[in-house]
Amino acid sequence: MKKAQKGNDKAFLKIFQQYEEEIYRMAFLYVKNQEDALDVVQEVAYQSFKKIHTLKKPEYFKTWLMKITINSAVNIVKKNIKVIQLIPEFKGFVGSDDEDIPLSLTLENLIDTLEKDEKSIVLLRFYQNFTFKEISEVLDIPLGTAKSVLYRALDKLRKEFKEADICE
């Protein structure tokens, strides 16, 4: 990490590649397509390399990368809102073969209805297995706020599930 912070590009690349797949998965959950997710990964690599010297605690490298990932993904989503799709593209599904695809797609649609802060916390907690402490650091919010926003978001999701008559 010290070599990377001093500008050694090979050392940085070695460290970055450990988290590249997680960055892609998180980006894909926001942007919903492979091209934009890859753009986010590229942007995260560029931004993190450019600013790695500002990272004060190397043990928070992954947390720092996820914060950059979320910010980059949200920027792309905002930019894409202004673009009108003339031909709806096939929406790729990321998951394993043993998952219930209709349920997963419904869950994905429901998560998209959440507000930005709620969505970020749900994704970090359940898709990236972050602790509440890590979530509060990534999003720069108090620990109690992270918990309350998560429980509020889960309550919304439960209500939506019941209204859609999905869960028993």
Q: What pLDDT score was predicted for residue 43?
A: 94
Please compute the mean of the pLDDT values over residues 10-15 and round it to a whole number: 90
pLDDT band at 19 (very low <50, low <70, confident <90, very high): very high
101: helix, coil or strand?
helix
Q: Rounded to the nearest 5°, which phi and psi values hold at 25?
A: -60, -45
Q: What pLDDT score was predicted for residue 106?
A: 63
**Between 128 and 105, whose confidence is greater?**
128
Nearest Cα to 48, choosing from 80, 77, 25, 19? 19
Same-domain pairing of 109 and 119: yes
Same-domain pairing of 68 and 16: yes
Distance from C-alpha of 152 to C-alpha of 74, rounded to nearest angstrom: 21
Q: What pLDDT score was predicted for residue 81?
A: 64
pLDDT band at 108 (very low <50, low <70, confident <90, very high): confident
Q: Give per-residue pLDDT as tens, 29-88.
A: 888 889 999 999 999 999 999 998 888 888 889 889 999 999 999 888 877 765 544 444
> Of the residues 76, 92, 108, which one is the last residue of a structural domain?
92
User: 45 lies in which domain range?
Assistant: 1-92
Residue 25 burial (C-beta neighbours within 10 Å; 0-12, 13-18, 19+): middle
Q: How many domains does the chain have?
A: 2
Q: What pLDDT score was predicted for residue 168?
A: 46
Q: What pLDDT score was predicted for residue 82?
A: 57
Q: Give per-residue pLDDT as tens, 115-149.
A: 888 888 888 888 888 888 888 888 888 999 989 99
The CATH number of the domain holding residue 48 is 1.10.1740.10
Label residues 46-84 b or e (16+ Cβ within 10 Å = b): eebeeebeebeeeeebbbbbbbbbbebbbebeeeeeeee
Same-domain pairing of 8 and 18: yes
Same-domain pairing of 97 and 60: no
| Structure tokens given for 91 | 């929406």
Residue type, 72: S
pLDDT band at 101 (very low <50, low <70, confident <90, very high): very low
Same-domain pairing of 119 and 155: yes
Residue pair 127/25 in contact (Cβ under 8 Å)? The answer is: yes
> Of the residues 92, 122, 154, which one is the last residue of a structural domain?
92
What's the CA dihedral at 80, 81, 84, 85 to 10 degrees? Answer: 60
